[in-house]
Amino acid sequence: MASLGILAYRALSTLIAPAVPMVLRRRGRRGKEHRDRSAERLGHASRPRPEGKLVWVHGASNGEALAALPLIERLVAQGVKVLMTSGTVTSADLMEERLPEGAVHQFVPVDTPGATKRFLDHWRPDAGVFIDSDLWPNLILGAHARGIKLAQANARMSQRSYEGWRWARKTIATLLSAFDVCLAQDDEIAARFRALGAPDVRVVGSLKEDAPPLPFDPAKLDELKTAIGGRPILLAAQTHPGEDETILPVHDTLRTKHPDLLTIIVPRHPARGAEIVMLCDARKAARRSTGGTIEADTAVYVADTLNELGLFYRLTPFTFLGGTLIPRGGHNPLEPARLHCAVMAGPHTFNSATAYAAIFAEQGVGLVRSSTDIASLAGSLLDDPQRARSLGDAAARGAAALGGAIEKTVEVVNGFLGNNATA
């Protein structure tokens, strides 16, 4: 029996359904929806269902979609067809570029009863894998009611989310019980899911720990290396508001000893490029998105573009990783670590706590709490390039020690499909 929370949600989502097309059109005009594919958001498929067994993999946006790619590639290699859904324009564009043959992308339908029914009626997946924690009640419960085997993969839940759900235990228990298995990233996360009513929770690690190194364009990398020459680099990647204001004073401090220092800031959200340039004030800055180039007098280079982190992590042996000086939980430290780029980060690393801990343990350093801490560690690495390279190698060892989640997730999916008896 559905909880009162679920019943209220269904009633509200039914009530607002007639207004959804108008909302999608408005979002499309702002670039928040793919205007040529908006029908997919209403559950109208733009592709035919492929023949044979179909596994549906869902990830909310770029991070989840990228984490799912190695899993999708493994499934396709077995001859399984894959439907990948996500909810953002950037993730859709990314998947169009990187999905292997045998996998298709669709936008996830808005979570109204009609849209989710049309979606499920057309695609009829044999199994579903939800990456991380994107929980849509109508979609999940609708799939469960049809007998579709469901797994939460790469499952995570912050302490804040856990505390919030404790006030709606029946609602979250109803949602979690629709999943046949929850594949949690670590023991702490697993305990939260069990406490909230998930019936089968297994600790398998993070899919991100098995992801391949970030791709890059060799020609663009050569172009950047030529422009930078032998200048020392301070890289701050995936930064949020409040963190750039910390990094820029670090730049000033380090320039007293390294006057040709180039600071590269890669904001988490590229739309903040102009804002960061304004923060630079008298410091000579250039924006990558507007064609700005690195000149001899460029002090700060704002790399406000998408999907180019693979370039910048390959330029330097260490980086500051954002989302960690503020309580955002941090971004994936395995991406730089796999490229032998050492990681320094603030105290807020709960999104990937196990990965940060493994990398910091190998490095022996990495935790920073202030501009003073960042300047001290970064300065010591700029003074000793050999130590910086050694820390990058240590980061790579820490990343390599983690893994196995993809194999375990594939076993579960194969069990859903009747391909083995081990799940």
| Domain layout of the chain by residue ranges | 4-205+404-417, 218-400
| Residues sharing a CB contact under 8 Å with residue 344, sequence separation 6 or more, in sequence order | 318, 319, 320, 321, 365, 366, 367, 368, 374, 377, 378
pTM of the predicted model over 0.75? no
Q: What is the pLDDT of residues 153-210, one digit of tens each?
A: 999 898 889 999 999 999 999 999 999 999 998 889 999 999 999 999 999 988 888 8
Q: Which residues are catalytic?
A: 64
Distance CA 233, CA 215 (A): 21
What is the greatest pairwise CA distance in the chain?
Answer: 68
**Average per-residue pLDDT for the chain:** 94
pLDDT value at 240 more than 80: yes
pLDDT value at 95 more than 70: yes
How many C-beta neighbours within 10 Å does residue 404 have?
A: 12
Average pLDDT over residues 73-101: 93
- Beta carbons of 393 and 381 less than 8 angstroms apart: no
Encode 362-405 in three state secondary structure.
HHCCCECCCHHHHHHHHHHHHHCHHHHHHHHHHHHHHHHCCCCH
How many C-beta neighbours within 10 Å does residue 188 have?
A: 16
Average pLDDT over residues 116-125: 98
In the structure, what pLDDT confidence band is assigned to residue 35 with cuts at 50, 70 and 90? confident
Instruction: Please report the pLDDT score of residue 423 as a whole number.
Output: 39
pLDDT value at 224 more than 90: yes
How far does Cα 265 stand from its chain's mean position? 19
Instruction: Please report the pLDDT score of residue 1 as a whole number.
Output: 58
* 218-400 matches 4-205+404-417 in CATH topology: yes
Instruction: Please report the pLDDT score of residue 421 as a whole number.
Output: 38
CATH architecture of 4-205+404-417: 3-Layer(aba) Sandwich (3.40)
Average pLDDT over residues 233-247: 97
CATH entry, 218-400, from 3.40.50.300, 3.40.50.620, 3.90.1180.10, 3.40.50.2000: 3.40.50.2000
Instruction: Please report the pLDDT score of residue 422 as a whole number.
Output: 39
